[in-house]
Amino acid sequence: MGRGDAGGLSPGDAGERCVTCSGHAEAALRRDVAETRSMLVFSLEPDEPLGRALADALDVPLSPLEERAFLDGERKLRPLVDPRGADAYVVQSLHGGPVESPHDKICRLLMFIATLKDHGAARVTAVIPYLAYARKDRQTKPFDPLGLRCLAQWLESAGMAQLIVLEVHNVAAFQNAFRCPFIHLSVHHVFRHLAEEIAGGGSPIAVASPDPGGVKRALLWREALEEHLREPVRFAMIDKRRSAGILSGGELVAGEVAGTNVLLLDDLVASGETLLRGARALRLSGAKSVTAFAAHGLFVGNAPQTLADDAISRLVVSDSMTPFRLPEQGPSREKLRVVSAVPLFAEAVRASHVGWHR
C-alpha cells in the first residue's frame, strides 16, 4: 500500500510591516499564526473529549488519522496529513477501559509516535494526561519490575522527544525515569477556582494529604493558596501504610483541622479507600467538611459505594479520563464534579511550541 503524499507544510509568509507600533503588533500576530501552522495535534482516543477540546483551545484543527483493526487483533495507525517538519502532539491517556487495556493503549501510542518519526515529523510530544505504571516506580519486593522506567524507555526509543503529563504519583521518581525533556503539570492549578469558592465560605480552610507520600503535593497547594488568598491555610497529614495491597493506619491526623473546611488532595482515586479513611479521620478530628480532590478518577472496584460515604462532602477530579465506571445515578455521582485540565495543557503546549519554533 502506498503511503501517499499530502504535500509539505509551509510556514507561510509573516508579511511584516514594521513601520509603527501597530505594525509590530500585526507582524507578531501573523508570526504566531504561522507558527501554529507547523503544529499538529492528534488524539488516539476518538471517544475522549480532551483531545478535541485541547485542539480547540489551541485554535488548531484536530489532525485526522486512520486506524484499522484486523481480524487477528493487530492494528494499523497512520496520519492522514503529511507530518514532515511538523511539531506533533499526540494525546493519549493510558488508563484502562472502557474498551482497551493500558497495554493496548501503550502499544498504539508507541507505534503512532514511531510512524510520525518515520515520516519526517521534526518533533513528537506525547501528551499523556494519565500516565500508566506511574505507581510502579520502585522495587518493594524481591525481583520486582520497575514499570515506570520500562515505559519511559519504550516511549523514548519510539521517538518521543518530549512528554507532557498531569500529576504523577511520585514526581522525583518520574524525573529520574525519563531522560527526554518533560513538563509535569501540578493538578492544584486546575482546582484553584473551586478552592477559592470553598475558602470564601466563612470558615478557615486546611489542605490535607491522605498519606505521607503525598505531603509534598499538598504542601505545594497550601503554599499556592496562601499566596493567592493572602491568608493562612492550615495543613494536616493522615498516617497510612500499604503492603501487598492491604491498607493499614489511616486514623492518626497530624495537624489542626477542627472547625475547618478541608481540601483532601491525592494524585488519583482508585477504590476510594484511601480518601475515605482520610475523610473519616479528619471528621473525627473536628473538620467541618471534607472535599476530596484527585487528579485522576479511576473509580475501580467498589469505589461507587465507598465514595458515597457521608464523610466525603464533595468529590472533585480532573478530566484526564471520563468517569465511566461511576453509575450515572447515585450518591457518588451526585457529589462528583469534573474540572477541566484543558486550559493547563493548552498553556503548556502553546509555550512549548513557541519556544521550539523560535
Q: Is residue 16 part of a domain?
A: no
280 within 8 A of 239, measured Cβ to Cβ: no
Across the beta sheet with 261-269, the strand order is 246-254, 234-243, 205-209, 261-269, 289-297, 314-318, 336-339
Same domain, 129 and 262: no
Are the C-beta atoms of 42 and 77 separated by less than 8 Å? no
Residues in the chain: 358
Does 199 share its domain with 99? no
pTM for the full predicted model? 0.86
Q: Is residue 14 part of a domain?
A: no
d(CA 329, CA 110): 37
Q: What is the pLDDT of residue 74?
A: 93
Tell me if 65 is assigned to some domain. Answer: yes
In a domain, 113, yes or no: yes
Shared domain for 170 and 290, answered yes or no, is no
Q: Is there a single domain that holds both residue 162 and residue 200?
A: no
pLDDT number for residue 48: 84
Q: Specify if 242 maps to a domain.
A: yes
Same domain, 335 and 347: no
CATH code, 328:
3.40.50.2020
pLDDT of residue 231: 93
| 264 touches 292 (CB < 8 A) | yes
- Cα separation of 149 and 138, whole Å? 9
Looking at residue 340, what is its pLDDT? 98
Which among 105, 117, 136, 240 is annotated as catalytic?
240
- Judgement on whether residues 180 and 265 belong to the same structural domain of the protein: no
- 102 in any annotated domain: yes
Are 165 and 259 contained in the same domain? no
- pLDDT at residue 1, as a whole number: 40
Number of domains in the chain: 2
> Among 127, 150, 76, which Cα is nearest to 346's?
127
pLDDT string in tens for the chain (358-residue length): 443 333 333 333 333 333 333 455 455 444 544 455 589 999 998 778 999 999 999 999 999 999 999 999 999 999 999 999 999 999 999 999 998 999 999 999 999 999 999 999 999 999 999 999 998 888 888 999 899 999 999 999 999 999 999 999 999 999 999 999 999 999 999 999 999 999 987 889 999 999 999 999 999 999 999 999 999 999 999 986 655 555 555 578 999 999 999 999 999 999 999 999 999 999 999 999 999 999 999 999 999 999 999 999 999 999 999 999 999 999 999 999 999 999 999 999 999 999 987 7
166 and 257 part of one domain: no
332 and 311 in a single domain? The answer is: yes
Q: Name the strand (E) or helix (H) holding 88.
A: strand 87-91
Let me know whether 124 and 261 are in one domain: no
Q: Are 179 and 233 in contact (CB under 8 A)?
A: no
CA atoms of 196 and 191, how far apart (whole Å): 9
Q: Which pLDDT value is given to residue 29?
A: 44
One domain, residues 118 and 206: no
Q: Is residue 318 part of a domain?
A: yes
pLDDT at residue 137, rounded to an integer: 84
Do 164 and 313 reside in the same domain of the chain? no
Residue 117 appears among annotated catalytic residues: no
Structural domain boundaries, residue 75? 21-186+343-357
The answer to whether residue 10 sits within a structural domain is no
